[in-house]
Amino acid sequence: MSSLFSFLQVGAVSLPNRVLMAPLTRCRAEGANVPTDLMAEYYGQRASAGLIISEATTVSPRGHGYPNTPGIYTAEHVAGWKKVTTAVHAKGGRIFLQLWHVGRVSHPAFQLNGELPVAPSAIQPKGQVWTGKEMADYVTPRALALEEIPGIVAEYVKGARLAKEAGFDGVEIHNANGYLLDQFLRSGTNTRTDGYGGSVAARARLTLEVVSACISIWGSDRVGIRLSPGGIFNDMSDANPAETFGYLLRELSKLEIAYAHVTRVTAQDIAHGAVSGVGPKELRKDFKGVLITAGGFDRAQGEQAIAEGWADAIAYGVPFLSNPDLPRRLEENLALNTPDESTFYASGAKGYTDYPTAAK
């Protein structure tokens, strides 16, 4: 039997296979960023995943940076997500909620009273954002004051607590892809001179405080984290990513979290400037627990990564988007559906819940 389809214990959660569903932003929340019945259907269709990691879900109103992304800071959000977890559990699945704050990768259009987005430092990211009405340049964010940082941790704590109320099996802390915690961690976006900037330990401090706070709600065996050490998405950089991420993973090992989810860069990523040579393969030595990876894997590559010991499970993104029964298709070498990219961030059922399963 292929290693991709073998049992794996991830903290307190038993996985029947190692084909995981990666977090995929789909922009289908409605109203006040509330999960919908359609979202429950979508996740329920994919319950055969070893573990579903939900789309990124904001822990506070100012954590938003894209239209129609779900939140986890109100009773409405809890009620909406309960429909999702109920649908997944009814089919025997497991699902973690990914906790998110976009930080500087936002726009006043998403902020209360048109305020500036917040960040570790007042450094404007390159690029533009879709506000729901138009493409707009990113603005220069406001640097968080030292006394505001405990409030950020408290927002993650509230999100973790509400995720438990909503029936999730655990939480994944989004510390990747250029969002708030990643901004604090990396030297290219953190020029602070207080206790949250400068040294690697100081830049990693907020991440470790958030992880510890979420552990206080869930226990270490139901908390994971996602990292993108070689990624440059959202105008990210670090002077020494091997040192930065190696330190963080060693500290996370001490906390005995359920897993670290470390993305690899693809050839396409490298062609766009991503950093090679600092990914899950190179950082495996720094983390003692379960290591999940993602980044354009097919079945053979996933099996090889597990066989070589630098990954314990593979998170699949786009293939799971268009193939609700992906574990079966991979195991039986069945053809995959072709994804419709025009519907990735659209609304409605088209390209969302209408992909067929393979014939029996």
- Residue 12 within a domain: yes
- Residue 360 within a domain: no
In this structure, what token pair is assigned to residue 49? 């995943």
Region 237-263 average pLDDT: 98
Pick the catalytic residue from 43, 179, 316, 352. Answer: 179
Cα dist from 122 to 130, 193, 212, 327, 334, whole Å: 21, 13, 27, 44, 50
- Residue 18 within a domain: yes
Each residue's pLDDT tens digit, 255-293 = 999 999 999 998 888 888 888 889 999 999 999 999 999
Q: Which domain holds residue 213?
A: 3-343
- Residue 348 within a domain: no
Q: What pTM did the predictor assign? A: 0.97
- Residue 350 within a domain: no
Average model confidence (pLDDT) across the chain: 97
Share of the chain above pLDDT 70, in %: 99
Region 219-241 average pLDDT: 97
| Total number of domains constituting the chain | 1
Residues 6+ away with beta carbon under 8 Å from 97: 54, 57, 72, 81, 159, 163, 166, 168, 170, 171, 172
pLDDT higher than 80, residue 160: yes
For residue 179, indicate whether it is catalytic. yes
pLDDT higher than 70, residue 217: yes
pLDDT higher than 70, residue 2: no
φ, ψ (nearest 5 deg) of residue 232:
-120, 5
User: Residue 267's pLDDT is what?
Assistant: 82
- Residue 198 within a domain: yes
Pick the range with the lowest mean pLDDT from 120-129, 141-150, 164-173, 272-281: 272-281
Q: Distance (Å, rounded) from C-alpha 301 to C-alpha 298?
A: 5
Burial label for 142, CB within 10 Å (0-12, 13-18, 19+), is: middle
pLDDT higher than 90, residue 114: yes
Q: Distance (Å, rounded) from C-alpha 225 to C-alpha 181?
A: 11
Each residue's pLDDT tens digit, 70-94 = 999 999 999 999 999 999 999 999 9
- Residue 357 within a domain: no
pLDDT higher than 80, residue 24: yes
Each residue's pLDDT tens digit, 327-344 = 999 999 999 999 999 999
- Domain of 269, CATH number, reads 3.20.20.70
- Residue 82 within a domain: yes
Characterize the bridge pairing of strands 170-174 and 223-227.
parallel
In this structure, what token pair is assigned to residue 300? 């053979």
User: Residue 266's pLDDT is what?
Assistant: 86
